[in-house]
Amino acid sequence: AQSVTQLDSQVPVFEEAPVELRCNYSSSVSVYLFWYVQYPNQGLQLLLKYLSGSTLVKGINGFEAEFNKSQTSFHLRKPSVHISDTAEYFCAVTAPSGGYQKVTFGTGTKLQVIP
């Protein structure tokens, strides 16, 4: 079984300041990791993903995340946030096995960018 923990339910940050959204996962096997963003009343949009290879992953809108296997973490970062980054962010994990897989999501972190 796999699980995801997002430690912060809400993160307020001033515009142009850096931000880190934390994500820890649990799985007994190798995993794929994702970050999704959800704007109000919309579906989820993929920000970035880690499948294998380089542990530093760059995504859209200036976001990046680092996979740390020893700490089972996949924290999301942005060096300078904009008002438009205000949204809810979900970390997700999947552990492909048997050719089929389900994706497990965290409970989400609401990022509030303050002007």
Partner 1 sequence: DAGVTQSPTHLIKTRGQQVTLRCSPKSGHDTVSWYQQALGQGPQFIFQYYEEEERQRGNFPDRFSGHQFPNYSSELNVNALLLGDSALYLCASSIGAVNTEAFFGQGTRLTVV
- Binder of partner 1 out of 73, 75, 81, 108 (CB under 8 A): 108
List the structure tokens of 48.
Answer: 């970035």
Q: SS3 breakdown of the chain: % helix, strand, coil, rounded to 5?
A: 5, 55, 40
Q: For residues 60 and 100, what is the distance between their CA atoms, to the nearest angstrom? A: 27
- Binder of partner 1 out of 26, 30, 42, 68 (CB under 8 A): 42
- With binding defined as CB under 8 A, does residue 17 bind partner 1? no
Q: For residues 56 and 33, what is the distance between their CA atoms, to the nearest angstrom? A: 12
DSSP letter for each residue of 76-89: EEESS--GGG-EEE
**Are 67 and 57 a contacting pair, CB within 8 Å?**
yes
- Binder of partner 1 out of 43, 53, 54, 115 (CB under 8 A): 43
Q: Would you say 4 or 81 has its CB closer to partner 1?
A: 4
- With binding defined as CB under 8 A, does residue 46 bind partner 1? yes
Q: For residues 29 and 60, what is the distance between their CA atoms, to the nearest angstrom? A: 28
- Binder of partner 1 out of 49, 59, 62, 77 (CB under 8 A): 49
Which span (11-19, 54-62, 71-79, 102-110) binds partner 1, by CB under 8 A? Answer: 102-110
Residues that bind partner 1 (CB under 8 A): 4, 32, 36, 41-46, 49, 51, 90, 94, 96, 99-108
